[in-house]
Structure 1
Amino acid sequence: MKQVLELIGFLALVQGVLGLVHEFTHWHVGLVQRLGFLDGYEIYVSVALVVLAFALFAAAESRGSG
């Protein structure tokens, strides 16, 4: 379970960072800007993904190795 939380956290972190990179540099990377229903909220969603990633990492650490 720890590895699953870490994997999902890593994916959330990558997508959040790529969404922020897209917003500030206009490179076409990541999934956040490709979802039409998120128009206008890309920065908020990207920041939320980064925060979610850290929460998932903390949850994975609290689970321990067992």
Structure 2
Amino acid sequence: MKKLIEAVGLVILLQGVGGLVHEWTGWLRLWTLARHMDLFGDRALFVSVVLIVTGFAIMIAPGAVRKKS
């Protein structure tokens, strides 16, 4: 389960990085999901930063939780 959560965090992190790369260079036009959602409008840069922070937090969360013995 830990690996699955880390993989989901990695995908979210990569979506955020891809969004930033698209905003700055114009590359990865078809790859980023935040750009294709009309809900976000012109806030794709902000959404990309939020995705990076969220993905990073999801990736480190399983390691921060300790099991009770």
Q: Which residue of 2 aligns with 1:51?
A: 53
Structure number with higher helix proportion = 1
Render the CA deviation track for 1:4-54: whole Å, top value 9, x for unaligned. Answer: 210111011110000001100112131111111111110111000100011
Q: TM-score normalized by structure 2?
A: 0.82
Query: Structure 2 regions of 5+ residues with no counterpart?
Result: none
TM-score (norm 1): 0.85
Amino acid at match of 1:20: L
Q: Which runs of 4+ in 1 moved over 3 A?
A: none
Aligned length: 65
Aligned to 2:42: 40
Structure 1 runs not aligned, ≥5 long: none
Name 1:12's counterpart in structure 2: 12
